[in-house]
A and B are shown apart, each in its own frame.
Chain A
Amino acid sequence: MAAVKIMDQEAIRRAVSRMSHEILEKNKGLERLALIGIRTRGVVLAQRLKEAIKSIEGADVPTGILDITLYRDDLTLVATKPLVRETLIDFDITGMKIVLVDDVFYTGRTIRAALDALVDFGRPATIQLAVLVDRGHRELPIRADFVGKNIPTAKHQDVQVILGESDGKTDEVILRDSPESNEAAYLI
């Protein structure tokens, strides 16, 4: 089973730093801006973007956590229900410019679910998408606004993002060949 390191700690740090500048540039500053991380690693990345933005602008961006489990389109297909965890958004998202944050952008189904979940909380002015890795193979008409790195992949391959806060190991992004049978486990 071949595994290739695609990004190391430094590359991830630079990508997050560049994305934070791009987010500020596109939104012309912090006004009405908010970050919402998709569990699990999107939450870590949102927190890092928040810190990067603070070091640039000197102010905090409201940051929330979204669990999309209940909005998945494959809930009736998976054998046992995935663990549901809490959504924590303690500000009103109506009228806000929301940046959704996730680690790997693949079929687009997670983001579809996240959009459904978000509109249940209010009516944001805009929703943008920031991802650390875009690996292609979209199944829905969804695109990212801010991308850390584009990685061409085959469908049978696996992209794994490892982040210190959630995985307790040094940051890295790994591309590995995975057996076909694992595909079903990664429906989203």
Chain B
Amino acid sequence: MSWKHKHLLGLQDLSRQDIELVLETAKSFKEVSSRDIKKVPALRGKTVVTLFFEASTRTRISFELAAKRLSADTLNIAASVSSTSKGETLLDTARNIEAMNVDAMVVRHSSSGSVFLLAEGLKCSIVNAGDGCREHPTQALLDMFTLQEKFGRIEGLKVGIVGDILHSRVARSNIWGLTKLGAKVTVCGPATLMPRGIEAMGVEVCYDLKKVLKQSDAVIALRLQKERQQDKFLPSMREYSRLFGLNQAKLNEAGSHLIVMHPGPTNRGLELSAEVADGPQSVILDQVTNGVAVRMAALYLVLGTKTE
């Protein structure tokens, strides 16, 4: 098993073996984060820049911690204070940062596919931290890592993904990854937020949340992206919450075996009730812990690959 990718742009481009290698590598890195001295010298002397054109707390901090625990130097650039607000193009901004001898760039951008533009135009490694509605590979990897930790396997697991599938890069990355590893994925959400033809990705579509909960081993509740609802996809938030929000009563009906995941940040009371978010079936904080380990694995693998 060896890793041959200079970039991590999405799970669509990875093979099952690649994904399994990341998950296996992340296991060792999780141990590093549990030590008193949470640092190993693996990426000493490397420079990792996080370049975020969309708001993020968790993902950016998680990447920064991951890089620091591998002894890399880190630098964070937020779009609001960057020169793109003065009219510079994305590629120019990135090229200027790269000119200062950066080894890897972790990028989040609102345009789907923007990371490909950067990967083609730059010499450093690009790690996708979310590009538009396309992919958020490290989130899906940490979801899979958490599932593997809880169930001991991914093959054959039944996973439900609930919410705004249309705008969700987390859903897309999870669908690519989970189906490659042999899980059975069912997507559930309002018909207006369900992309047409999603079945072609190898998933089942179901509009009945109760049915999805009953048949699933784990359910991933997606954040309702209020910033992307200007086009009146939903009659009201209350209706959404009633039909597609998770609460304890719905969980009780489905059974106590079900685990609940969420990529964060949660809209409490909308897609998840507070009771569920803080309840025994929720593994949301485990996901956050595992995120650092998975991102360490991603940076370690990507930065070690030499390509001609």
Residues of A participating in the B interface, judged by any CB pair closer than 8 Å: 67, 69-71, 75-76, 78-81, 83-88, 116-117, 120-122
Contact = CB atoms under 8 A, between A and B. Distances in A.
Contact of A86 (B27, B304, B306): B27
B3 A81 contact: yes
Contacts of A71: 40-42
Contacts of A69: 42
B304 A84 contact: no
A120 B37 contact: yes
A116 B40 CA distance: 9
- The interface centre, meaning the residue of A70, A76, A78, A83 with most chain B CB atoms within 10 A of its CB, is A70
B35 interface: yes
A117 B35 CA distance: 12
A83 B304 contact: no
A83 B301 contact: no
B42 A75 contact: yes
Contact of B4 (A80, A84, A88, A122): A80
Nearest to B2: A80
Interface residues of B, number: 27
Nearest to A71: B41
Nearest to B301: A81
Contact of A80 (B3, B25, B42): B3
28 contacts: A70-B40, A70-B41, A70-B42, A71-B41, A75-B42, A76-B45, A79-B305, A79-B306, A80-B2, A80-B4, A80-B305, A81-B3, A81-B301, A83-B1, A83-B21, A84-B25, A84-B28, A84-B29, A84-B300, A86-B27, A86-B31, A87-B31, A88-B31, A117-B40, A120-B37, A120-B40, A121-B36, A122-B36
A28 B213 CA distance: 62
Contacts of A81: 3, 300-301, 304-305
B24 interface: yes
Given A70-B41, A86-B27, 18 more contacts: A69-B42, A70-B42, A71-B40, A78-B304, A80-B2, A80-B4, A80-B305, A81-B305, A83-B21, A84-B28, A84-B300, A85-B28, A86-B31, A88-B31, A117-B40, A120-B35, A121-B36, A122-B36
B95 interface: no
Contacts of A84: 25, 28-29, 297, 300
- The interface centre, meaning the residue of A71, A80, A81 with most chain B CB atoms within 10 A of its CB, is A81
Contact of B25 (A83, A88, A120, A122): A83
Interface in B3-19: 3-4
Nearest to A78: B304
A117 B37 CA distance: 10
B39 interface: yes
B33 to A, nearest CB: 12
Given A70-B41, A70-B42, A71-B41, A80 B28 contact: no
A121 B42 contact: no
B304 A75 contact: yes
A36 to B, nearest CB: 15
Nearest to B27: A86
Contact of A87 (B28, B36, B37): B28
A87 B32 CA distance: 8
A116 B70 CA distance: 14
A83 B36 CA distance: 23
Contacts of B31: 86-88
A114 to B, nearest CB: 13
Contact of B39 (A67, A76, A83, A120): A120
A86 B31 CA distance: 7
Nearest to B300: A81
Interface in B267-307: 297, 300-301, 304-306
- Pick the 9 closest A-B CB pairs, nearest first: A81-B304, A70-B40, A70-B42, A84-B28, A80-B2, A120-B37, A86-B28, A79-B306, A84-B25
A116 B41 contact: yes
A76 B41 CA distance: 11
A18 to B, nearest CB: 34
A120 B297 CA distance: 19
A70 B24 CA distance: 15
A85 B2 CA distance: 14
A75 B2 CA distance: 14
A18 B40 CA distance: 35
B263 to A, nearest CB: 26
- The interface centre, meaning the residue of A76, A79, A84 with most chain B CB atoms within 10 A of its CB, is A84
Contacts of A86: 27-28, 31
Contacts of A78: 304
